[in-house]
Amino acid sequence: MNIFSRFIKVYREENEMIREYFRDCLKTIDENNLYMLRKTCMYISMVYLVMFGIAYLMLPDFKISFSYLTLIPLLIIYFNVNLYVIKHQGEISTAKTAAICCTFYFWLGVVLSLMDVVASPNTQAIWLPIAVLVFPMIYIDRTYKYCFEEFVVLAIMLVMSYFYKTYEMFILDAHTAVSVYIVSILSAHIVLVMRSRETLAMTELTRLSSMDKLTKVLNKGALLQRIDSYFLHKPPEEPCAMCIIDLDDFKQVNDNLGHNIGDLLLEQVGKLLNENFRAYDIVGRYGGDEFVVVMPRMGDITILQMRCKTLQMYISSINFDNDKPFTVSIGAVVNTGLKDSGKMFAMADDALYKSKIQGKNCCTTWVYDEMEFNKPLILAVCIERHNCLKEIYGEDNDKFQIITALNDDDALCQISRYHSLIRVILLEVDQENGRGLLVVKYMKNRESFARIPIVVIAKDEESCKQAKKLGADEVLMKDTPPAIYKKTINKLIGI
């Protein structure tokens, strides 16, 4: 009884492993089935030709009958099917894969039945029984489906045998069919157990090799691979969001609280990222104390901001006997059609830098602008100067396109998006309310943007002094005549 219960336990464990295999490895199963279909067609074609050669040499009375020729149209059809499969590799669904493979193996079974019964009515069936034994080795399916699929083709052969062969030969075929059916189902279970064990072990090994051991999120290599794969295959119209999350003053955490606390903090951040983002979001550690999250089908900037703020709140509640709360700065970008992960990452990184330069523990969220320009740009960060530029250069100016930004955040978003096209920035600065100062500070501290000249329009002397201190290329007062604006801008652009 103990042996029987142990057998039942092992059988249940094996079945659970097989279920896990079909649940977690469907993509691999589909790829293997389509690959083996191509190989099967190729080897059947070779065996088919060799079989005729051997038959002519060894069987003097051998004649080619209609039953033998029925295999040719099936192989021709599936030659074209395989070409289609190769052309659309990675795009064929599980249901379509099953339909393609099962249809082929069914009709192959019918053809082999014709060869065993109609073409050779006086001999025992051999071709279909061999195919039934080999079937579990070349096609991956669930055990109950094997039972049904093999039962159908063997039943078709036995019906044909009953009508075309003598009763004695029919009994031999029936005995052979039952025998190979039982052996095939048993071997199918054994093969499935072996495949499941090996594939799940490889999957787990791959998962562990792609995992950052400390934070339990994707490591940098796996993260970038997953991001590139997502952007390669995502529909053009599907929105998505990307966040870059950076721990503030992490070096001070290591110096003041110890590297052990630093590791515990990183571990907790990884845990929070796994818990607070969706299962299909791509979460990884980019390096050091920096993390990246890509959120497919995320197009609502309000929800994105809420998620970022919630994450900041959770991180600030982490307690390792620290005097002040832990904080993170976040740069986030939403786009509705961009398929270039590099551009999106660069923009999210620019947004993160703005959060850092603002004073840390900040979250900057931008929307990727889909507008395209075919001329160099002048960015005016003030409505009045924008109108003034139109007067200076004219509405139909063929040298520049003038774009505007309403505030500092909008200006930095435009600069991040169009910095390769922007030739000069016209920026209004007001020391009293701080308007414009962040843009100057950001531009002159961000190496990739420092080359873009900034013309500051100062409201008063204090604003003028502050702009010069921050490194503005030219500073003009608000009441400066338009001609001076034009001369200054042309000088900076090189006209």
The domain limits of the chain are 2-209, 220-367, 377-493
Task: Specify the pLDDT at position 387.
Answer: 64
- Structure token pair of residue 449: 């943007």
The answer to whether the CB of 327 falls within 8 A of the CB of 316 is yes
Q: In terms of C-beta density within 10 A (0-12 exposed, 13-18 middle, 19 or more buried), how is residue 49 classed?
A: exposed
Closest by Cα among 372, 382, 371, 390 to 408 = 382
The residue with tokens 């801008």 is 489
pLDDT for 495 equals 61
pLDDT at 412: 94
Tell me the CATH architecture of domain 377-493. 3-Layer(aba) Sandwich (3.40)
Structure tokens of 353?
Answer: 């830098």
Q: What is the pLDDT of residue 200?
A: 79
Q: What is the DSSP letter of 460?
A: S
Give the pLDDT of residue 384.
Answer: 65
**467, 475 contact by CB (below 8 A):** yes
C-alpha span between 485 and 390 (Å, rounded) = 12
* Strand pairing category for 240-247 and 290-296: antiparallel
Question: For position 395, what pLDDT does the model report?
Answer: 59
Length of the chain as a residue count: 495
Beta bridge partners of 364: 331
| Residue 111, CA atoms < 13 Å, CB-side half-sphere | 18
Query: What pLDDT was estimated at residue 339?
Result: 74
Sign, CA torsion 139/144/147/148: negative
What per-residue confidence (pLDDT) applies to 385? 61
Measured CA to CA, the distance from residue 361 to residue 292 in angstroms comes to 16
Start-to-end CA distance of the chain, whole Å, equals 96
Three-state SS at 478: coil
pLDDT on residue 334: 94
Mean pLDDT, the chain cut into blocks of 10 residues (495 residues total)? 76 87 87 92 87 76 78 90 87 91 94 90 91 92 92 95 92 95 93 88 70 89 90 86 94 90 93 90 93 93 92 92 90 84 92 92 88 86 68 68 88 92 90 87 89 89 88 86 82 76
- Those residues with Cβ within 8 angstroms of residue 295's Cβ, 6 or more apart along the chain or in another chain: 240, 241, 242, 243, 277, 278, 281, 282, 304
Superfamily of domain 220-367: Reverse transcriptase/Diguanylate cyclase domain (3.30.70.270)
- Per the CB < 8 A criterion, the answer to whether 492 and 424 are in contact is yes
The model's pTM is: 0.66
Residue 170 to residues 29, 68, 181: CA-CA distances in angstroms? 37, 21, 16
